[in-house]
Structure 1
């Protein structure tokens, strides 16, 4: 299948381009940026020297001619763009008959009211919002992903939280109290555009988005439980670590908790670490979700770690593309031979 990436100069876009270029059943048919981008006409490998020899392709501006080329030469279109840009572009490519994988938050929530409250703008395509399938690969029905024209690739923080919490909620082990999620992300999660608040030399460990972060409604929608989510930015490049505080129902035993997590035991990209504590170093540049937990009475602490650019974005988009082609979700993400 031929893949086009819009917004390929950003961190997630470049990461996705490298995954597609390394995949033996996909062809990277084009990489694009906006007409106003300072990155247009540059080689992607000049922006990211680690991809020299793999991504020696020119970033093309998204002109009318580019749309015509995409119509002729693409099967899958991946949007690594701003939320509002994705909402504008997705229907254009869907009208062309392309399958769209949107890595923004443009199609993850339920209503225009949610977008006004958490994203600060009114959603302009509610009908398409209702058609989008959420691409949480380990949990979504594979037929839904295969048959949908629009896949909303989950956010990075929700990916770590949902994989860690859904086994407990689905097993009905959690009390009605809010689940508390304390999450820390590397600065790549803030994107590549220059901003003094995310400049590496200026970043200190700090909370942001208290009570109103846009990933709160996303987690609650697909978890089916209220959460108190507090994100933090840390002074390291990539990775997410979440420490999650769960109040269990009365008399829930350690065996019940362990049995709940059995549903993830056979998932190749999820590692249950038993008594080990997940770390960011353990997942950086890897496609895994590392999950561990410790229980004291009715209190449970769950820890979850991912690479925000891989499992939290590009890797999960690739999982959805694999599923769409009838391959196992982890194809080409694991060491050669493991997925065969």
Structure 2
């Protein structure tokens, strides 16, 4: 087990370097002009201003030189300076990342609860209306585009019915609590503001549900398929013959044997949502990594684009590592082999 973890940790820096190299090279082959985000249109015809801007941002150097400088600075924690905000990209990312982490954590919790529950019910009541309803729910979540679902639910629950708040993390007229963790729900509790905590929680429900619905559908289908296969095994028939209740058979015997592959899907889904929450954050005005990436792409902010790509890649690799370790821990047969 320890050797397995060490091998993965040793390979991690090389994988991260590959992500950095790929992100850096992709920004150099794009048709966008990096100077367009630095120099105004009226100054683009001024050779002195253009030369000064290139020298200031290192654009007058060759590609290999810029790559070596960037990797060297990155090793020291410097991801460059944003063309738009004029702040260090690392500072912007650290400010935005907790908002995305909070949203994705809530989304994966909602997706896991709904997906596992529907999968168990669909398998326990196979070929009944409950089974058909759960499959329709999973199909809708997997096939309907996130942007359409977000706009539709936002219109229904916020505009028409008014039961859930609109975009944002808090009431726009409310003062932000002191930032300790970056998680709005936790920071409001640390500030002792219970009313603001529930406000942050209500703002979190709708975007988290929209983001987690597709994952809930995938989890539901996986749990249903594995449960049906497990329920047909001999040890399940033996448990029923011994007089075990149906609830005990389904939950304790069948569900426990389906949790290892389900755990793997949940872990990979968490990594996917962290890097794929762009549309949800844009629709709900969520100030996270996704909306930061959209603003960077619109403004041709190449340092920010590279920074977001690197952070997303590193998070994806770390999440996959933790998921694989959890899989090895949960499945003794993998550990013994």
Question: TM-score category by the smaller chain?
Answer: under 0.3
**Greater Cα radius of gyration, structure 1 or 2:** 2
The alignment's TM-score, normalised by the length of structure 1, stands at 0.26
Larger relative strand fraction: 1
The alignment's TM-score, normalised by the length of structure 2, stands at 0.26
Larger relative helix fraction: 2
Task: Point out which structure has higher relative CO (alpha carbons under 8 A, 6+ apart).
Answer: 2
